[in-house]
Amino acid sequence: QKEVEQNSGPLSVPEGAIASLNCTYSDRGSQSFFWYRQYSGKSPELIMSIYSNGDKEDGRFTAQLNKASQYVSLLIRDSQPSDSATYLCAVISSGSARQLTFGSGTQLTVLP
Amino acid sequence: NAGVTQTPKFQVLKTGQSMTLQCAQDMNHNSMYWYRQDPGMGLRLIYYSASEGTTDKGEVPNGYNVSRLNKREFSLRLESAAPSQTSVYFCAIGGQREKLFFGSGTQLSVL
């Protein structure tokens, strides 16, 4: 059983819409959660981190964490074509000593 | 990717050949990592180093060795390359609260 699950997509949204990306994880003791964006042919870059239940907003991005349900989501408001990329969810599980486990990513396309 | 330098960017090997991927950082972080990325499988941890002189196995260490000789550099060695090691390799460094910063990657093909 994969520890971090994401819908691989592709997910397509029109420009200006809200894109919603979801991630579930298996280890209930996980404490740290991250969203990375990866453009085609490039390396991943961190866009959001979240450590406690609730919402965390940064510009057009909002990360949501629900530890009871073991899911973390990323909302992108006013989506732009430049947001088209693969979004990777990553989790530090309990007892893993700094090791991040990544989901396989969701490919997002924002249509002009 | 300023701060994390990976070399080479591309490499083609024949089965059985050896090579070393180099990673250097100038961000003065203790933690360094090697990941591989395959289509549909996300990033998988090969080895990591929590500090100078220490290394630990990750999820997929077989066929690889690593060396952390100093705080700046962390190398990954393939002693006898196999086609299953065809992948994109990323070095990363761990900042505060384990936020990772990635190098630009090495695209490796083993024929």
Contact of A93 with A99, CB cutoff 8 Å: yes
Q: Between the CA of residue A110 and those of A14, A34, A72, A76, A99, what are the distances in Å? A: 5, 22, 21, 11, 32
Does residue A1 surpass a pLDDT of 60? Answer: no
Contact: B100, A88; criterion CB under 8 Å = no
Does A104 contact B42 at a Cβ distance shorter than 8 Å? yes
**Would you call A102 an interface residue with chain B, using a CB distance cutoff of 8 Å?**
yes
Could you tell me if A31 lies within 8 Å of chain B, comparing CB atoms?
no
pLDDT at residue A53 is higher than 70: yes
Nearest by CB to residue B50, choosing from A51, A98, A102, is A98
Contact B31 A105 (CB under 8 A): no
Dump the DSSP string for A81-99. GGG-EEEEEEEE-TTSTT-
Q: What's the pLDDT score for residue A33? A: 95
Q: What is the DSSP letter of B29?
A: -
Return averaged pLDDT per consecutive 10 residues of chain B, 111 residues in all.
87 97 93 92 91 91 95 96 97 86 96 95
The pLDDT of residue B42 is 85
Which residues of chain B make contact with A44, given a CB cutoff of 8 A? Answer: 43, 90, 100, 102
Is residue A23 scored above 80 in pLDDT?
yes
Average pLDDT on A24-34 reads 91
